[in-house]
Structure 1
């Protein structure tokens, strides 16, 4: 009898360890939010190769879409002009196909983490406009062409504007001029005419940046280029962005006649260094204990702020569920979030919906309830 009781308890604990949300609710994000839009996560290389199976299972159980966090970026997939490294990206796409997930490619043209050889010749001199266009065409054609028919959509250009709405002075802009944007969309569409094509950026609640994105999307569409969606990166904090402006951006982008996507969602709960701003990854600040106050877990008051922030955000998504096509968390669990090291290396952050034990946080149930109305 005692053995039966022990066995029963063991089974109960085992079941509890794989429940997607709380014991009182076995519905997952994809079960409920997935009725309205894709809900996904960015996956790292360890997860796609199943080196961290518990994290991989979080993806399988809770999401219906994935995006490559790093393995499709230029420096990773195209390390030398005449050499590609396909292993990780191939595995990522296979994982998505094997598990019936919508696959998003990220990203084709970005000033950060580009192919290191892209902008200079063998002498180290800056290449000409024609050479850069040719190289950009070769890169996009090869990457998009390899996964033709298997990728739902691509972040074609990433972070091309400053917060004031001017073009970022990236090597693509300096060497080619603003035409690099339409060329990128042209090359991507030629490589896979059926793939959706997106523009992706951060701080899109800022009116000037919002207007710039709307302007270029309308311009591209007026010239006949395919533009399917605008990605709002949504690297949010407890006090930013202004949610009224954030909501205005959803309406403005939908009015451009494209899909609105929340592409890199997280909530930074840590104090920001002085002069920190946006999600520009070149920012790097010196570690200080004052900037890492929650090494052993969040205080109850901060947990409540975190939960309220997520609920406020998802209430916005619920109101705009007819305009939003995808919501993607930038990471799977707190353990692997980029915000543990950005913009201050070595911190302990808690920005995602799944904790360091690979369990859903209590807010997940509450988010699901919003969409069960």
Structure 2
């Protein structure tokens, strides 16, 4: 091509350069797009999952890949409970608990210990003598001390926080009449936290319970924690078990509890999160594992998958709760799902055995549900 007009040529070159620079300003690389839950909540709060024996023993490798991709905190579903670790007095079995800890360390995960004192899965010997009678307060306190010092001491510096006591307050705010309470009274709570602090002064110490959006339980837990604080007992956080349904609890009552617990000067954690889509035999069912209801087909309506309208309610409900958590991210340190995929969930067998529930964020084949991406997009707005 023969150039006949250099001024026109220079003009074209200048226009071309301006256009390129302009496009460079407009077409900038987007900031990192989060594709995993742990990336989406980075800097906001930990996102965790409970591990079952199948995960810890290595029998569920696909589930563990989901864990590594999407979660940065772990808690043991069962293997660190007293009945599992010390089924007989003085005979400690740390095999599975050690494996759980190794998973956390190997993958640089935030590790939570669950649970030191819980009435439901405590071995019977804890409370009785050789003749089957209740032991004295002194004997029970000593057994608590030995158990807590041994377990917490073994994992000192490795477990970041402990659910020291689990489910000691009833929905009306009164104390659960467990063997711990019957023998030691309210002091069992103080002693448990004291022993845990002695064993690992740097570990965070938590109280954990279900139905925490209930006004009565909220008030009872606030009263209990204030009493501990007045006695100078170290308590760092309150775990609000998130066993929720499509209709209960209300977001408003759940939020009231987040605020009430945070006002105590402790961190709030959403623990054991799952969303049941199945009809509940009773509205006030709570999450007491001792509850059992006879199987009825009407209570197990979705054996072949969820209808579209139910799936929509499920997605909207999860999004509403995660929006609540994000709104209060300054008060919440962790959100933990109670399992990895739907097949892991205890809700398939509670309170009615043999049901098919869909309460978690990943399907039984470990594929993410559509709401996972919606949650990630929601977090990007904060």
- Specify the TM-score bucket, using the shorter chain as the normaliser: over 0.9
Identify the residue that residue 13 of structure 1 maps to in structure 2. none
Identify the residue that residue 201 of structure 1 maps to in structure 2. 209
Equivalent residue for 1:308, pick from 293, 309, 316: 316
Equivalent residue for 1:337, pick from 329, 341, 345: 345
Identify the residue that residue 84 of structure 1 maps to in structure 2. 92
Higher mean alpha-carbon deviation, 148-157 vs 222-231, is at 222-231
Whether 2:195 is the aligned partner of 1:190: answer no
8 Å Cα contact 2:168/2:209 also seen in 1? yes
Identify the residue that residue 263 of structure 2 maps to in structure 1. 255
Identify the residue that residue 58 of structure 2 maps to in structure 1. 50
Identify the residue that residue 79 of structure 2 maps to in structure 1. 71
Equivalent residue for 2:219, pick from 211, 218, 234: 211
Cα 1:274–1:201 shift into 2, 3 Å: closer
Equivalent residue for 1:149, pick from 157, 160, 163: 157
SS at match of 2:127: coil
Q: Which has the larger radius of gyration?
A: 2
Cα 1:259–1:274 shift into 2, 3 Å: closer
Identify the residue that residue 106 of structure 1 maps to in structure 2. 114
Equivalent residue for 2:244, pick from 236, 239, 242: 236
For residues 259-318 of structure 1, give each alpha carbon's deviation from its aligned partner in whole angstroms, at most 9, with x where no partner exists: 000011000100111476100110001111111110010111110010111011011011
Distance 2:259 2:249 in 1: 16
Distance 1:59 1:274 in 2: 33
Alignment of 1:171-186 (within 5 A): 171-186=179-194
Equivalent residue for 2:127, pick from 104, 119, 141: 119
SS at match of 2:197: helix
Identify the residue that residue 38 of structure 1 maps to in structure 2. 46
Distance 1:34 1:143 in 2: 30
Identify the residue that residue 354 of structure 1 maps to in structure 2. 362
Distance 1:219 1:131 in 2: 24
8 Å Cα contact 1:80/1:116 also seen in 2? no
Distance 2:281 2:203 in 1: 40
Distance 1:367 1:122 in 2: 54
Whether 2:369 is the aligned partner of 1:368: answer no
How far the C-alpha of 1:49 sits from its partner, in A, is 2.0
SS at match of 1:239: coil
**Runs of 4+ with >3 A deviation:** none
Distance 2:159 2:220 in 1: 27
How far the C-alpha of 1:249 sits from its partner, in A, is 0.7
Structure 2 runs not aligned, ≥5 long:
1-32
Distance 1:76 1:26 in 2: 38
Whether 2:113 is the aligned partner of 1:96: answer no
For residues 199-224 of structure 1, give each alpha carbon's deviation from its aligned partner in whole angstroms, at most 9, with x where no partner exists: 00011111111111111212212221
Distance 1:36 1:45 in 2: 29
Whether 2:35 is the aligned partner of 1:27: answer yes
How far the C-alpha of 1:26 sits from its partner, in A, is 5.9
For residues 51-101 of structure 1, give each alpha carbon's deviation from its aligned partner in whole angstroms, at most 9, with x where no partner exists: 110001111110000000000011101110010110000000000000000
For residues 344-371 of structure 1, give each alpha carbon's deviation from its aligned partner in whole angstroms, at most 9, with x where no partner exists: 0111000000011101100011111111
Distance 1:27 1:220 in 2: 42
Give the paired residue count: 349
Higher mean alpha-carbon deviation, 342-351 vs 207-216, is at 207-216
8 Å Cα contact 1:287/1:346 also seen in 2? yes
Identify the residue that residue 5 of structure 2 maps to in structure 1. none
TM-score, normalised relative to structure 2: 0.90
Distance 1:248 1:45 in 2: 35
How far the C-alpha of 1:115 sits from its partner, in A, is 2.3
8 Å Cα contact 2:127/2:134 also seen in 1? yes
Distance 2:66 2:87 in 1: 31
